[in-house]
Amino acid sequence: MNYPYRLLAPGPVQIPEYARQILAAPMIHHRAPQFIAELEQVFINLKKVFFTDEPVYILSSTGSGAMEAAIANTLSPGDRVITVDAGKFGERWAKMASLYQLKVETIHVTWGESVTKEQIEHALAQFPDTKAVLMQATETSTGALQPVKEIAAAVKKYPDCLFIVDAITSVLSTDLRMDDWSIDVVVAGSQKAFMLPTGLSFISLSKKAQAVMSKTKCANFYFDLKAEQKAYALKQTKFSSSVAEIRALHAILTKILENGISSLTSEIQKRARITRIGIEALGLTTYPTTPSPSLTVVNVPDTLDGKKLRRHIEETYNITFMGGQDQLEGKIIRIGHLGDISQEDVVASIEFLGKALNDFGYKTDWQSAVAKVLREYEA
Ligand SMILES: Cc1ncc(COP(=O)(O)O)c(C=O)c1O
């Protein structure tokens, strides 16, 4: 196979060379002064990225760990919560909440669509004793962007209700302002717009969420954020820090903040916009009604098996895209826009998707699609 490998999934993502070098550097101890100084700066920079004045804790876990920490530290068995099931990750909130013996009310949203403020308002009016609303900012399984800002305003009207947002595929790629919008818990993960390997998760809690933290009755050891809070005061993490990843994160955040967060979010939005121009030029359509800029979800033509198509692209053209799960299995291709992605990568995603479709007998004019994409870049 002569093509260079391209990882264009919606996470994990391609890692910039300068971060890869740090990941490969000799190990230093997590209590060494050199590391503590870097960690302190990372803590400061994470607040900027989350648009919050509150601490952002770093956990050595995948994003789901921070989701679980959100539940275990702010809720108690028997509490009523509203979850939004607009895809696989919304389902995960409901599963976790049930496991923690919460009373779960689920708003089912047709996959590909976004929940509305009215649906949340209606559910809150029906269950005014709700202790938390849990949802995604970007539902990665469908590519749908959710109206977090509007919903935050609706939840704010209920003083005893927290708004908990899985922003794993949204922090740094969409506008998401924790303090200004009154989001109580924001969760993120390293393998998305942070451009790092999987393995770190981030969580920040509003003052309102911190206040309930001491009262929660959920048993929990590893994800005890009260312990994390104490360690944070000493500029440390509770357990051994993931030194290599955090040092790489330090470099990544420094660069992002030097260039401005909006420069990164605009770049991601540009990739999404140009990819969608290419997709349309291939004669294809996209799946979600309100797409997130973090990924483009393409409908696979009815006559084709999307699983075979995705595998063919990986085996023949050396590009990893993601497919769909459950009801979307074999029906969609998900193209990620996060990570260290060049213009060549975006062009390759259109060219090789087009060629692969041709290989399966579905005729596309990939040359003119590529020309359109290149024209957009020149413009
Ligand atoms: C929106 C969303 N939530 C949760 C997760 C789960 O994260 P992890 O696989 O890091 O546990 C993902 C992962 O892709 C995601 O996209």
In this prediction the pTM is 0.98
Q: For the chain, what percent of residues have pLDDT higher than 90? A: 98
Range(s) of the chain covered by CATH 3.40.640.10:
17-258
Do the Cβ atoms of 144 and 112 come closer than 8 Å?
A: yes
pLDDT for 193: 98
Ligand 1 centroid to residue 171 C-alpha, Å? 12
Range list for CATH 3.90.1150.10 in the chain: 6-13+260-378
Does 370 score more than 70 pLDDT?
yes
Q: Which residue has the tokens 């696989």?
A: 88
Q: Hey, what's the torsion of the CAs at 335, 337, 341, 343, to 10 degrees?
A: 80
Backbone angles phi, psi at 155, to 5 degrees: -70, -35
Task: State pLDDT tens for residues 93-123.
Answer: 999 999 999 999 999 999 999 999 999 999 9
Question: Which percentage of the chain shows pLDDT scores above 70?
Answer: 100
Distance of CA 89 from the midpoint of ligand 1 (Å): 7
DSSP character for 66? H
201 CA from centroid of ligand 1 (Å)? 10
Could you tell me which residues come within 8 angstroms of residue 314 by beta carbon, excluding any fewer than 6 positions away? Answer: 320, 321
The answer, yes or no, to whether any atom of ligand 1 lies below 6 A from the CB of 136, is yes
Using a 6 Å cutoff on CB, does residue 64 contact ligand 1? yes
User: pLDDT tens across 322-332, in order?
Assistant: 999 999 999 99
Confidence of residue 357 (pLDDT cuts 50, 70, 90): very high
Q: Is the CB of 168 under 6 A from ligand 1?
A: yes
**For the chain, what is the mean pLDDT?**
97
Q: What is the pLDDT of residue 213?
A: 93
The answer, yes or no, to whether residue 163 has pLDDT greater than 70, is yes
At residue 258, what are phi and psi to the nearest 5 degrees?
-60, -45
Question: Is the pLDDT assigned to residue 167 strictly greater than 90?
Answer: yes
6 vs 370: CA distance, rounded Å: 17
Determine the atom of ligand 1 nearest the C-alpha atom of 170.
1
CATH code 3.30.56.10 for 6-13+260-378 = no
Residue 209 CB–ligand 1 contact under 6 Å: no
d(CA 134, CA 83): 5
- Give the Cα separation of 105 and 82 in Å (integer): 5
CA distances from 361 to 225, 306, 367 (A): 54, 13, 16
What does CATH list as the number for 17-258? 3.40.640.10
pLDDT of residue 1: 63
Question: How confident is the model at residue 218, as a pLDDT?
Answer: 86
Which helix H or strand E contains 356, and what residues bound it? Answer: helix 343-359
Dist. CA 93–CA 135, nearest whole Å: 7
- What the block records as the tokens of 114 is 């976004």
Mean pLDDT computed over 175-202: 98
Q: Averaged over 10-24, what is the pLDDT?
A: 98
Which residues make Cβ contacts (< 8 Å) with residue 63, sequence separation at least 6? 166, 168, 187, 188, 189, 191, 201
Provide the 10 A C-beta neighbour count for residue 368: 12
Are 121 and 98 contacting, i.e. CB atoms less than 8 angstroms apart? no
Q: What are phi and psi of 359, to 5 degrees?
A: -60, -30
